[in-house]
Structure 1
């Protein structure tokens, strides 16, 4: 008997729900308001950065998240980089070394672009990432917005177990 024989006659009666990347924001203040103190250092308004983070956190690509937030893909990548999101720099470690040599004045730009093997846009984004470190305060805000609230989780777990665990008679 094969799997097709076992599955014969089975039907799915409940549709599955589309689920994105699970995120939990344990704060009461909207992300845009928490990013507002860093708005001067962001390549776009704080509200746009928050929309970009929400779209990217839902599992979309940088380009799709940027489109959802209403900014160019390169601007979206810049915003995610300065907010501390890892993996936005398009350059390999060797290409990053080439960019560093170019920034130090050891190479001409045309030579650096050729040696890096990157397109002009990738090289420019890599140079931006090399010259603009993540904003520490904003990085912490973003990290906090993506971490679950341990107190809320503990309370849910305690409530879920409350009915399953009875108090011993001698402790009442």
Structure 2
């Protein structure tokens, strides 16, 4: 039954994740943390941070790892297949059929209508991450880090993966320093 649940969870992500990786993250979270409880909030946050530092589509990386964690190699292949197949099929169908109507107002309206929905989904996930950060760092440090990260990405064009990797390295050295102080 786990194989069916893995397939269904990531098939839903693949079929409903309109807008790419960022739009898929809240869907993966809903399936993995809320519905099937394969991970808790902390584990998902850690996995998401690591997945964003690696190259490739985030939904596929999340599917691969979570599938592996739940059911080994078979689960990894199942989840990865499930998240990719809807996109492949829909791309073939939509691109062949929509190319003739792409300039129609209803097609453009449909595309524009999805943007606010994805924005709200990302805002909800962002709020959940900020609340989690607040419990570990406090509001001042959390808001300061959010502000600095936003400035680095938007004003200076620094890739988010570089920022996450830098913070992971900083955390490793800070942990080692704290362990050294305790001895």
Normalised-by-shorter TM-score class:
under 0.3
Tell me the TM-score normalized by structure 1.
0.26
Structure whose alpha-carbon radius of gyration is higher? 1
Tell me the TM-score normalized by structure 2.
0.24
Would you tell me which structure has more helix in proportion to its own residues? 2
